[in-house]
Structure formats: structure tokens, C-alpha cells
Amino acid sequence: MPSGKPAGERCVRLTDDNQCSLYGLPSRPRVCSDFKPAQDTCGDRFDEAVALMEAMEKDTTPASPNGNAPTQ
């Protein structure tokens, strides 16, 4: 995704079984290769990881001037 990936959007490089199709390749983005999974970010299952990441995204999204989170 040359222009970056918006939070909450599925990476186009994930396979149907949620594996990275670029894993181990030099074209894999550094942000992906630098990410180290941990219990507090990934949990034990895919659905748990998604829920944890969605919560982190919500908690770290800056509020707009009117006090609401910006819409995408």
C-alpha cells in the first residue's frame, strides 16, 4: 500500500488465512517487520487481536476541535 494503510483497513497483502504475503521478502514494509507481537496487542486469537487494536486506535485518535473523533 504505497500511500500507507489507514487504521482499521485490512492490509491488501494479507492472505485469506490472515498471513502476510510479503513475509520474509525485502519489499515487506519496515513498520511490519519491526512490529513485535505481544499479549497486550495480539491476545490469543485473531478476533481478540482485532478487538485490542480497534480499542487502541479509538483510545489514541485525537479529538477534533468540536471534541469528537474525526471521521474517515
Domain range for residue 23?
1-60
Indicate the number of domains in the chain. Answer: 1
Residue 65 lies in a domain: no
Residue 44 lies in a domain: yes
* pLDDT on residue 64: 67
The burial of 55, by beta-carbon neighbours within 10 Å (0-12 exposed, 13-18 middle, 19 or more buried), is given as exposed
Residue 8 lies in a domain: yes
End-to-end Cα, the chain, rounded Å: 17
Residue 23 lies in a domain: yes
Residue 67 lies in a domain: no
What's this model's pTM, rounded to 2 decimal places?
0.61
Residue 34 lies in a domain: yes
Residue 71 lies in a domain: no
Q: Record the cell numbers describing residue 2, joined without a space.
A: 504505497
Span 24-48, pLDDT tens digits:
999 998 988 998 989 998 999 989 9
